[in-house]
Structure formats: structure tokens, C-alpha cells
Structure 1
């Protein structure tokens, strides 16, 4: 085998030396990478935690709770029914506004995070403050705050922790024990106790009926004396610990609303339009001095609701409007076509209005407006007729003048002479 020596330096390299030189160069590079690369510090890309989070403001709903009871704050960016289907790569965190410490996940702590909600078991007055819910994924970060205020259950705090509800005088109505869905969604034997002031409303009460299995209390023949504070409560057991949950309702009794028989004043029975155009047909109802809120007004197509008849929303029922003209009450709901199609010409559209005193319907049909008009069609014929009549009258007039001139010019003895205006010029 031919040896490769460095002292014989010539432009031409022996082929047997090439593999040895390549192997040597690769060995040197490997040693350099192994020893030097650990010393090179590459710049790190910012992590999700380091990215700036967008603050979406304070949630409109504030929580006013009673000390010593369970409280659940829902993350305002996530609806409760959407949380089970949230993507696994979404990270949800809670923290208090005046603390950088995150609320722990799990059920061991008194305050913890569970199913996208912040749990207080139970809540204390010191928990009052602003809590921020943070949602993160690989590309987005969003924050929103929720206000919590905790009160001691005293008479002075009733205006802050009570829920306002209204019933009408001389009617029967329902009171609802509010904001219990977080504690009742898996209950089949729901039991709610009702109090008026401090008096328990038992089953034998003829005035108040506790609707079993629901969160409602039926008040019969409402009177002015029924106004005041009501308390509803239920028991809640979590991990073997018993809690009491109460809600306080302030009932206001208003005068009974007056109703009148509704009268539909529009639309017309036939609506002319063009195919492919957008059309709005308002249904206007006169109520006089009657109440507007108790009157139902809607549109139907072939005795079917508009939403069912047109699931594609090409034809929709517009927003309800309530207004007053000359001290008289009206309500109006438009029917909107976007656009009108030929199939709508055979549809039976009906405006329906009803309340406790009356019921009325008004049918209307859509027809295609024709562009043909007899007046337009006969106009050219009339013009031709007038031109021909003018020509005929002009010729008749010239012929009459010629005859008169001839009778005066020619001798009476020439009775057989035919006189024409052109021949008169030749005689001259």
C-alpha cells in the first residue's frame, strides 16, 4: 500500500490519501462540536406564561353573598355547559387581584378551582374582592375579572343581598329561588323551604303553595300585603360536609295591567313586489290604552311558525316594536323577505295577535307586480291614429279648397272639365 507523506508536496494528490484526509477532518469537527457547543447559549423563545395577556374588563354581574354559605364563581369567559367540551390544551387559572398566588386546583382547600369555577366552601367576609379568571393556550391569553362582596346576614344588609321580583295585584304568580343551578343540577329530590319574614310557609298554607321538586313558590290572589322579604333555602352536602344555602327575595306588588281587545290595522291583503327584491311587510296592531307586554304578536306561513317554515332564514320575523301614537298603544312585528322568490307567491302568510281578551288573524299574499300597462301599450297606436287622421284631414282640406277655386275660375259652360290644384298652376 502506498504511504501518504507530507514532505512530497505536489499539486496532484494521490487517490489513496483522500479517504484518510476526510476521516481526519470529520474527527476534528466531531471533537469541536462536543466540546464547544455546550458553551453556546441560544436565545430562548418566550413561553406562554411570558406572553402578555389581554384583559377583557370586569364582568357585568357582581356576586353579593352571605357569609358562611357555599359560593361558586363561574369563569365569565366560559359557559358552564361548554366546559366539558373545552379543548385539553386550554389552561384555566384563577387568582385574586391583589395577589399573584394562583388558587389551587382540587377539592382539599376551602377555596379551590373545580370545573372552570372558583369554589368557596364556605365563603368568609375576608374573601370579598376582585378575582381574575385567565384562559391560555399556545397562541392566546385572555383575562376577565369578577367582583365578590360578602355580607353578614343582618337586616342592614338585606338591600344588598336580596333579589327583586314583581307580581301583579289580584293575580296569581310565581316566586323563584334564584341562582341554585350550580347546586341542583344533579338533584332528583330537590327540597326548598320558603319563609315570609321569619315565618315558615308550610304545606297547609292556602295562600302560598310550594311547588315540589322545583325552585318556585306559587302565590295565589296576590294582595298588597304580600309585598316584603321572602327567604328560600336548601341543604347542600359536599364531601360529607353539610351546608345551608339561602336566597332572600324582595317582592314588590304592582297594579294589575289593563288589557284591551287587539285590532290588526295592517298589512293589506295583497302585497305587490318584484321577484329577487327585498321586502318588508309590517304587521301593526292597535291596543288603545291596553298593556303592550301581555299581547303576543307573530307571523305564520301556511299555519307554521316562520322559523320552522324557513330554517335557512331567508324569510324572518323582525324585532318587535312597542310605541305610542296620540296616547294610543301599538305593537308592530315585520315579516322580512331577503329576497322574494317565486315560491312565496303561493304561500299563505298570516299575522296572529292574541291576549287574554281577544284573538285575531289577518292573511296576506305576495304577488308579482306586472310591468305591462294597457295605457303604455295603446300609446303608440294612438299616436299612429292621430298622425293618419291629421294626414287625412289635411288632404281633405286641400281637396275642398281646390274644388272651390275651380268653380269660381272656370266658365260654367265647361261642365265636364276636371279641376285639380296641379292643373290650376298649368292654366295660369
Structure 2
């Protein structure tokens, strides 16, 4: 309530100096041109709000300020009197009725004793011709085979405290039949309800409101270009990755994709994210070591997929005991898939040489055995040969003795 009170008091503090005392401010900070150009129709009321007023309302405390308007090609400020066609009221620039020569750049200046800034806004006033309809139209979208509503935009300046306002709706310049149950316009509302939207409902709509000022009645027209989108059909998503166990090395950079198959279903209504020990990744890793990649949406063979990466930079031992989950959700299903990060077995030459050493040991033993056996056999042969030779030498001696 206190903040609301301050806001009301701050808005009421915007005052317009008398025309005779207005001068073009000096040494003002120029905030630039407002991003949105105002397109209006000739002969209708136009109200421009000071673009940078919201900067001032966002301050913690706003002192008494002066607000003035001027056109870019003029040093004269707009007066704060309704007797003229162009005037300032409650900080807003009013042009009633607007003419094509009113097109141009308007500069709003906000200043107090110690500060001054300016911001410009572009106004373009078109004649009432069909050629200007695409430029003057506000794009809106409804979904096929559903019920939705069109909004008659930018009427807040003219509908304040008016509960009895009546808006007339047209489609392709033809007044909609109030007895047509497909379209419903309620008194006091700025919306047109459309039941069971069809492709034929696409096109240009116009909403017209009567505005009375000083005994004069003016039309306020807003044009809408309605586009019909196909009804987005949901399917039950299927998580096709990751695997339950991901092998990696400590200190390495790791990327784990969570890939979800949607078939012919829509991307937009399906949410996909990662969790770590029942906590979101952002909360679990505020240091940014583990992050989620951008959501990817793509099609393969006319089938839709979505994918979100889990990125480790780097992997540490703590990750080996963390429960990571890929979670997917839409209106038809809620699923999750657990995955764990495990350290891959490292290669050790010492361990690998143990069986190799055993092989060499066995082969060496076999070779030694054969060598020893061969050497033993050779020694036995030499001994036998020597014995026979001695017998052969003694034999002739015995013969001689017989002689």
C-alpha cells in the first residue's frame, strides 16, 4: 500500500508549466528514439505517452518534475490547453483530430531542478485507404478448432472509468451480425469471442469505438490481421538417451545428451530439463561447472525431437556419486531417466605385464627343461662311445697272446 501511495503521488507530481514560461531545455540527456512507431488514422484521436516516464516511476523517490512536448522540427512546446487541436493532458500528448501533416518525430522532455532527459517517439498518420490497412493492422493469432478472442488494442486512454462502452466489430469491412452465435461482443469489453475457430475466420477485422470530446464524436478504429494456426497435437514423449551409465575420466570435459522422441507431436508444449539429486542444475552448480545446454528442436524423417545437453567442465570425483536425471513433461506424460557417471578403468602397464611375465616364465621353463634334457642325453652318448673304444683296443692284445 505504501508503494502504491508513492506511485500515485509520483504520477500526480508531473505538471505542465504555463506556455509562456516554456523554454527548450539545455544540457538534457537524450535517451534515444522509442522502438515502437505509432501508426494512426487521419481524423481520429491520437494520444502519445512520454516513453521515459517509466524510468522515472521506477526510481525510489521522484521529486517534482516538469514534462513538456515539442515536435522535432519546432522549438515551440505543445501547450497544456484543450482549446487547441494539439495539447498536453496529464503528461500525455493529445492530437484531436489527427491530420497527415501531424506525422513526424515528437520529443518528450522530463526535468527537475537537478536533472533533465529527453526521448523521442515517431508518429505516422495515414489516410483512410485500403492501401494503408496492412501497415495499420495489429497481428493476432488463434488456433484452429478452439475458441479464442480478439483484443481491440490501445484503448486505455479512451476507456478509463467507462463500463458502458460499446465496440462495433467488422470483418473485411462488413459489420458482424450480433445474432451470430459464432461471434460474441460483450458490452463494456474490448474483446471479440470467436467459437470453434475455422480457417475461414482468418482475415482483417476492425473494431470501432465512439469517443466524445467537447460535444464532438470521433471514431477510434483499430485494425487486426487474424492468422489461424493449426491445432498443436501432443503425443507421449519417449526418452531415448542417455544410457544408464556414462563412462568418463576425471578431469575431462563431458557432454551427455538427453534426447526425446515426440513423433508428430509439438515441441512447444513439452518441457525438458536435467536434475542433480532432485535439484535443478542451476541450483546444484551455482559455480557453473555443470550446466545445461540450449534446448534443441529438430525433425528427422518427419518426426520431431527435442534435446538438452548436460555439460561437465570438468568431471570431478563428486559427480561419480551424484544421481542425474533427465526429466520430460507435457500434459499427457511425466517421465524421468536416471543416469550415473562412472570412472573408466585406466590402463596400467604393471598389471598388463603380469600375465605376460607368466607366459615368458612358462616358456622359459619349458625351454630350460628341454635344454637340460638334451644336454643330459648327449652326455650319456659320449660315455657309451668311450667304453666301446676301450674294449676294441684290448681285443687285439688278447689275440696276440693267443698266437
Task: Please state which band the TM-score falls in when normalised by the shorter chain.
Answer: 0.5 to 0.7
Conservation of the 8 A alpha-carbon contact between 1:275 and 1:368: no
Match of 1:147 among 101, 122, 127: 122
User: How far, CA to CA, are the matches of 1:214 and 1:308 in structure 2?
Assistant: 43
User: Does 341-350 or 230-239 show the bigger shift?
Assistant: 230-239
Q: Does 1:350 align with 2:326?
A: yes
Q: 1:196 aligns with which of 147, 170, 175?
A: 170
Q: Aligned to 2:372, what secondary structure does the other structure show?
A: helix
Within 1, Cα distance between the matches of 2:187 and 2:200? 25
Task: Tell me if structure 2 keeps the 8 A contact 1:71–1:123.
Answer: no
Which of residues 401, 404, 414 is equivalent to 2:374? 401
Once the 2 structures are TM-superposed, how far is the Cα of residue 129 of structure 1 from its aligned partner? 0.8
Are positions 1:266 and 2:274 aligned together? Answer: no
Q: What's 1:38 paired with?
A: none
Q: Deviations over 1:57-78 (max 9, x none)?
A: x554321113422422452xx4
Q: Is the 8 A contact 1:292 1:322 kept in 2?
A: no
CA–CA distance in structure 1, aligned partners of residues 297 and 78 of structure 2: 48
Which residue in the other structure is 1:124 paired with?
Answer: 98
Counterpart-to-counterpart distance in 1, 2:241 and 2:345: 25
Residue 65 (structure 1) aligns with = 40
> Which residue in the other structure is 1:223 paired with?
198
Q: Which residue of 2 aligns with 1:167?
A: 142
Alpha-carbon distance between aligned partners in 2 of 1:273 and 1:135, rounded to the nearest angstrom: 61
Which structure 1 residue ranges, 5 or more long, are not aligned? Answer: 1-47, 415-428
Match of 2:390 in 1: none
Output the aligned Cα RMSD: 4.9
**Aligned match of 1:286:** 261
Three-state SS of the structure 1 residue aligned to 2:40 is strand
| Contact 1:131 1:147 (8 Å CA) reproduced | yes
Provide the C-alpha distance between the structure 2 equivalents of 1:74 and 1:241, rounded to a whole number of angstroms: 26
- Report how far residue 296 of structure 1 moved: 1.5
Structure 1 CA distance for aligned equivalents of residues 292 and 155 of structure 2: 34
3-state SS of the aligned residue for 2:74? coil
Q: Is the 8 A contact 2:108 2:120 kept in 1?
A: yes
SS in 2 for 1:410: helix
The 5 Å alignment of 1:23-422 reads: 49=26, 59-67=34-42, 68-75=44-51, 78=52, 80=54, 82-86=55-59, 95-102=70-77, 110-112=86-88, 119-122=93-96, 124-125=98-99, 126-132=101-107, 145-153=120-128, 155-180=130-155, 193-197=167-171, 199=175, 206-210=181-185, 215-232=190-207, 245-256=220-231, 262-273=237-248, 279-288=254-263, 290=264, 292-299=266-273, 301=275, 306=280, 312=286, 314=288, 317-336=292-311, 342=318, 345-354=321-330, 358-359=332-333, 361-372=335-346, 378-411=351-384
Bigger shift: 141-150 or 234-243?
A: 234-243
Aligned partners of 1:245 and 1:103: how far apart in 2?
23
1:357-396 Cα offsets, whole Å, 9 max, x none, are x5362413232324456x7663132233234334434433
> For the residues of structure 1 that align with 2:374 and 2:193, how far apart are their CA atoms?
106
Q: Is the Cα contact below 8 Å between 1:299 and 1:335 reproduced in 2?
A: no
**In the alignment, is the contact (CA less than 8 A) between 1:107 and 1:114 conserved in 2?**
no
Q: Contact (CA 8 Å) 1:321, 1:333: kept in 2 or not?
A: yes
**Is the 1:70–1:243 contact (alpha carbons within 8 Å) kept by the matching residues of 2?**
no
- Residue segments in structure 2 that go unaligned for 5+ positions in a row: 1-24, 388-403
- For the 8 Å contact 1:298–1:333, the answer to whether it is kept is yes
